[in-house]
Chain A
């Protein structure tokens, strides 16, 4: 056996990585080669010296554990929330979307406190402060929508009348050919907004 191969086998032996058959070959070589025997002894001693250090670990400061424990971030609850979001991205996105929609609708609803009158034939209508009047003897051709105000009908309306967040008074002389709708609550107001949006889109 060449000495170079023998050295490589010595290392493998020290690494517990030499098959038994080759261990026997190495032993034979060592018996016949004094140089390799000396080298093996040195390597073995180095190995043992190194292993002996394992049992002499230096001691860290006594307060190291408490320092470690105190340095840990205390954000467990927030983390649970964050991981939930990470696990359900679609649901999170949907709920954020709904939240934003709801907020904007609510703020719009609160803003719309002023009187709004919509219709095709508004010249015939008389507005006094917060009150919208259809005078007797006058005829409005088309729909009439009043938001946030009182509505008094004495004349004729040739279409639908819609009252949102307000009151409707119909005199005995009044004549409304279409539907009469009165919307008071926020929910139905929202419903009205949505259906209105769709029908508007549909008609366009």
Chain B
């Protein structure tokens, strides 16, 4: 289905491309939101991902799953974004002259309204915090494994790494999360 849509989109069919956007926007948004923990940046990533998909439609290889391709683009954009973010400031470092203001308050605030905040259960919040505390190389693997329900082989295709590496990372990531969540369970 995606193969047919990409071919139509390549011929200039805007509606076919819009269908691709509908199919994948939520998945990419979820991926980016969990990777970056910021709504604005996540939407930026979704937009950039589809722009790249559109520009490179002629380079899309039919033998590859479309989902693998778009996840690769999205994941790489997230990792790039995180890489650029880190050296500029450390989130936990307090600013010199303003007391009590750290990096977290510098990130554009999430537009989570109090109502949606309430809907977020305590358990969910705990898991999200645990995911956010994962090192990036484990975070991307765990998000692809659980939030996108990809198999180990698919994750290895997306990240272009051997399956054995992915397996080790899933095991360590799961161990890490277990230790974070265990005292609260």
Residues on A close to B: CB < 8 A?
8, 11-12, 14-17, 42-43, 45-47, 49-51, 53-54, 56-61, 64-65, 67-69, 71-73, 76, 83
Contact A45 B185 (CB under 8 A): yes
Contact A58 B147 (CB under 8 A): no
A76, B127: Cα distance in complex, Å: 45
If A17-B152, A57-B29, A58-B39 touch, whether A42 touches B46 (CB-CB below 8 Å) is no
Which residues of chain B are near A60, meaning CB under 8 Å?
25-26, 29, 39, 42-43, 46
Interface residues of B in 104-160 (CB under 8 A from A): 123-124, 127-128, 142, 145-149, 151-152
If A53-B146, A60-B43 touch, whether A15 touches B152 (CB-CB below 8 Å) is yes
Choose one: B12, B39, B55, B178; the contact of A46 (CB below 8 Å).
B178
A22, chain B: closest CB distance, angstroms: 15
Selecting from B13-21, B68-76, B78-86, B88-96, the interface stretch reads B13-21
Contact A83 B58 (CB under 8 A): yes
Which residues of chain B are near A73, meaning CB under 8 Å?
54-55
Q: Which residue of B lies closest to A76 (CB)?
A: B12
Contact B127 A69 (CB under 8 A): no
Give the dominant DSSP class at B's interface: helix
Cβ proximity bits B155-182 to A, threshold 8 Å, 1 near / 0 not: 0000000000001001100110110011
If A11-B171, A46-B181, A71-B47 touch, whether A58 touches B30 (CB-CB below 8 Å) is yes
Q: Does B66 contact A (CB under 8 A)?
A: no
Choose one: A14, A58, A61; the contact of B174 (CB below 8 Å).
A14
Contact A58 B29 (CB under 8 A): yes
Which residues of chain A are near B170, meaning CB under 8 Å?
11, 15
Contact A56 B124 (CB under 8 A): yes
A43-B178, A57-B29 given; 7 more Cβ-contact pairs under 8 Å: A15-B170, A50-B177, A58-B42, A65-B25, A67-B47, A71-B51, A83-B58
Contact B147 A53 (CB under 8 A): yes
A14, B142: Cα distance in complex, Å: 13
Which residues of chain A are near B58, meaning CB under 8 Å?
83
Contact B171 A50 (CB under 8 A): no
Choose one: B149, B151, B181; the contact of A49 (CB below 8 Å).
B181
Which residues of chain A are near B178, meaning CB under 8 Å?
42-43, 46
Q: Does B22 contact A (CB under 8 A)?
A: yes
Contact B54 A72 (CB under 8 A): yes
List the 5 shortest-distance A-B pairs measured between CB atoms, nearest first.
A50-B146, A57-B30, A11-B171, A76-B12, A60-B29
A17, B164: Cα distance in complex, Å: 12
A21, B46: Cα distance in complex, Å: 44
Which residues of chain B are near A16, meaning CB under 8 Å?
151
